[in-house]
Structure 1
Amino acid sequence: MSRLLLSRALRAACAAVVLAAGPAAAADACATGADLVVSAADPAPVQDGGSTLLHPVVINTGDTATAVPFTLYVHLPPGVVGSGTSPDATCSTLPFGHTVACTVPAGLAPGASVTAEVRISVASGMDPEVLDGNVEAELPDDPTPGNNSSTFRITVI
């Protein structure tokens, strides 16, 4: 069953519980679980050979804490490498430096957020241009995976 059909089936079951048993029973039946939403504002412009900072944020907009660890990935374009830190996650740079992965432990509460700090370094000799990068969070069973990624732009000046 596709995620869309499963989501519709769960909403229909929730509505049936509300009608049959009332709002008290619906609280448990209608729980959606942890739902991650990712955002990343464009970093400050950077000169060739220089660096800037990106601060991607993951918010749990669901109604339960994350039950398992999840990973926030920052994907950088060619000519750009990164390294990351976060007080709430363990960050590492994957081979070739174009992806930073920050693993967040289980237990991100509803309404809570995690912010990483990723230093983006641009290769020397790059022409002025605008490059696109992507931030994404991977959480198994996220009920709305469509909001788990965000694009950002790196402006080389």
Structure 2
Amino acid sequence: MSVMSRLLLSRALRAACAAVVLAAGPAAAADTCAAGADLVVSAADPAPVADGDSTLLHPAVTNAGGTATAVPFTLYVHLPPGVVGTGTSSGATCSTLPFGHTVACAVPAGLAPGASVTAEVRISVASGMDPEVLDGTVEAELPDDPTPGNNSRTFRITIV
């Protein structure tokens, strides 16, 4: 879906919620507007990894909302410098963006309430890196998510 299509859909959803406020009052609007899909991202820290080696990260996104996702969305894994990734998922199409520091998994519309999609991202650490702890981020993008504060999660990569 193009950026323009997402923008138009976002405006249409906001307009529908505003119409409910005018017609039925704030209580009905809260029920209608909050009943949409609500993505929640989770990612446990991967196992420690030695320089020049790799480990696995299993980020997941769950629909905690009241309806299925109406549009496709993307789960991103952002990796720090010196770390690159490749990803796979049975419920999404994953690709590594240029330079390897971001893995993007496109999830089709229709993720049901309570359902999850999990990706498997192989994280490879460059040779010669000193032992340290690096932060990465997992985030999901869904237009008009009612609680965007739970759409990202930081994870830690421990280089031993």
SS state at 1:124 partner: coil
Deviation by residue 1:65-117 (Cα, 9 ceiling, x = unmatched): 00000000000000000000000000000000000000000000000000000
Is the Cα contact below 8 Å between 1:43 and 1:52 reproduced in 2? Answer: yes
Structure of larger gyration radius: 1
How is 1:3-152 mapped onto 2 (pairs within 5 angstroms)? 13=25, 15=27, 17=28, 29=32, 31-152=34-155
1:151, CA displacement in angstroms? Answer: 0.2
Provide the aligned length of Structure 1 versus Structure 2.
142
Distance in structure 1 (CA, Å) of the matches to 2:137 and 2:25: 35
Is the Cα contact below 8 Å between 1:35 and 1:144 reproduced in 2? Answer: yes
Is the Cα contact below 8 Å between 2:34 and 2:146 reproduced in 1? Answer: no
CA 1:61–1:126: 2 relative to 1, 3 Å: same
Q: Return the letter of the residue paired with 1:108.
A: L
Distance in structure 2 (CA, Å) of the matches to 1:140 and 1:30: 13
Identity score, percent: 83
Partner of 1:23: none
Deviation by residue 1:94-144 (Cα, 9 ceiling, x = unmatched): 000000000000000000000000000000000000000000000011011
Is the Cα contact below 8 Å between 1:14 and 1:30 reproduced in 2? Answer: no
Superposed CA RMSD: 2.4
Which segments of 5 or more consecutive residues in structure 1 lack a partner in the other structure? 19-25
Distance in structure 2 (CA, Å) of the matches to 1:64 and 1:30: 11
CA 1:31–1:152: 2 relative to 1, 3 Å: closer
CA 1:60–1:50: 2 relative to 1, 3 Å: same
Distance in structure 2 (CA, Å) of the matches to 1:129 and 1:40: 19
Is the Cα contact below 8 Å between 2:41 and 2:152 reproduced in 1? Answer: yes
Normalising by structure 1, we get a TM-score of: 0.84
SS state at 2:112 partner: coil
